[in-house]
Structure 1
Amino acid sequence: MSGADPSTTCATYEGSAPPETWAEVTALFVAAFAAAPYGEDPQELAHIRTWGPTQLSHPGGRLTVARQGAQCAGFALVHGLVEDQPWLAILATLAAHPAAADALDRPEDALVVHELAVHEGFRGRGVARTLLRGVLRDRDEARVLIGVYESAEDAVAMYERWGLVRIGSFRGPDSDVTLLVLTSLTSDLSLRLSTPSQRVSVPGPVGGRRPPAP
């Protein structure tokens, strides 16, 4: 069976989203990333209700929320690289890789997947693919960047199946988390996401994660 569950609907917000949307995004975000392999502090995770709207307001900010009925099944949050100082700092440590150097030279031409999460009850149904395809639709940026915790092996494998390639890893000075940085040309990734494929159940949370502080 291929493609996303036809009962999944998506709503996309550009630049801002209503408080009720952030409420359901926050609940899903806390549930997904407090669980293994992330094990983050639920109280800290809940702060997405404050910093999420700020990220969405960045140039190129877009939030896509997937729902099945009244249930929030997942969300993806992206924005341009230009004003994202933590990501620019991380890429500076990886500048020996041509893709990182290219993004630093042309930050206006790069898109950051800041967060991507799917509710555990809806994994393996093509929701992550649908979300990423939605936030990449009609984008002008040539390159996509995504960070994922090295310990999240299922998420890493999913992104690599979609053709994203590793350009390096980063660990902040006060962090015990290693962030893998992956990239793809936007047009190539959009094409691969639009090509029907076998659904693969991902048992752990899938997520592009905000980077630890440089």
Structure 2
Amino acid sequence: MSILVFKGDDLLVHTTALRSVYVDAFCTPPWNEDDEKAEEFVSRLPLNVRRPGFTAALALAGSEVIGFATAWTTVAPFPNDRCYPQAAAGLGVDRTVDWLCGAREIDELAVRSSARGTGLAGELLDAVTEDAPEGRSWLLTSVASTRAMAFYRGQGWTQATHPSPDGKGIVVFLGPRHPARSLAAQPL
């Protein structure tokens, strides 16, 4: 197995393989995404590769793509589309700007079901955060996936927001080298 790191649009030659891994990873429980979501991911790729600080990592077994991660630098002002408003509401304005803007944002992390439990997801996460500005990296995930939540904690990430315990919503995690980790509120 090998991991290749990409910093721009040269990743796009792997679009079909990325879509296939995305479907394998996210069109099953707990994510239950559909083909439309996979197409949305693919349609965002040409824009995402042009974002400031774009970084991607591809895991290959021979010539087959078995996992990937994509990331970029979060811009200021903090975005207000997708799940960003939930993140900002959980952190508050000042912490959102101080902790997330200018940091490496992990957008997607996906591994084929056949490669889960091998340590591959951790390697991909490390590959896209290795050169994060001042060690600052962060991501969002859904509380609906207890497996993802446990994985990030096991990788040394710190949960920085704590939505209601009704099993809905998203949480912000700060990377293991993020300087604000010790400042994140712990659950009651």
Return the TM-score normalized by structure 1.
0.72
Gaps of 5+ in 1: 1-7, 189-214
For structure 1, which segment, 69-78 or 81-90, has the greater mean C-alpha deviation from structure 2 after superposition?
81-90
From 131, 137, 144, give the equivalent of 1:144: 137
From 156, 161, 184, give the equivalent of 2:175: 184
- Give the Å deviation of 1:106: 6.1
1:122 aligns with 2:115: yes
- Give the Å deviation of 1:114: 0.4
Q: Counterpart of 1:10?
A: 3
- Give the Å deviation of 1:90: 3.4
Q: Counterpart of 1:195?
A: none
Q: Counterpart of 2:184?
A: none
Equivalence map 1:27-176=2 (5 Å) = 27-82=20-75, 85=79, 86=81, 89-96=85-92, 101-105=94-98, 107-169=100-162
Greater RCO between the two (CA within 8 Å, min separation 6)? 1
Identity fraction in percent: 22
Return the TM-score normalized by structure 2.
0.81
Q: CA RMSD in A?
A: 2.5
* Distance change >3 Å, CA 18–CA 56, structure 1 → 2: closer
- Give the Å deviation of 1:18: 4.4
- Give the Å deviation of 1:140: 2.1
The answer to whether the Cα contact below 8 Å between 2:7 and 2:56 also exists between their aligned partners in 1 is: yes
The answer to whether the Cα contact below 8 Å between 2:143 and 2:149 also exists between their aligned partners in 1 is: yes
3-state SS of 2:161 partner: strand
- Give the Å deviation of 1:170: 6.2
3-state SS of 1:109 partner: coil
The answer to whether the Cα contact below 8 Å between 1:81 and 1:88 also exists between their aligned partners in 2 is: no
Q: 2-side partners of 1:111 and 1:139: how far apart?
A: 5
For structure 1, which segment, 137-146 or 45-54, has the greater mean C-alpha deviation from structure 2 after superposition?
137-146
Q: 2-side partners of 1:18 and 1:95: how far apart?
A: 32
* Distance change >3 Å, CA 90–CA 114, structure 1 → 2: same
1:149-200 Cα shifts (integer Å, max 9, x gaps)? 11111111011112212222569xxxx9521211135368xxxxxxxxxxxx
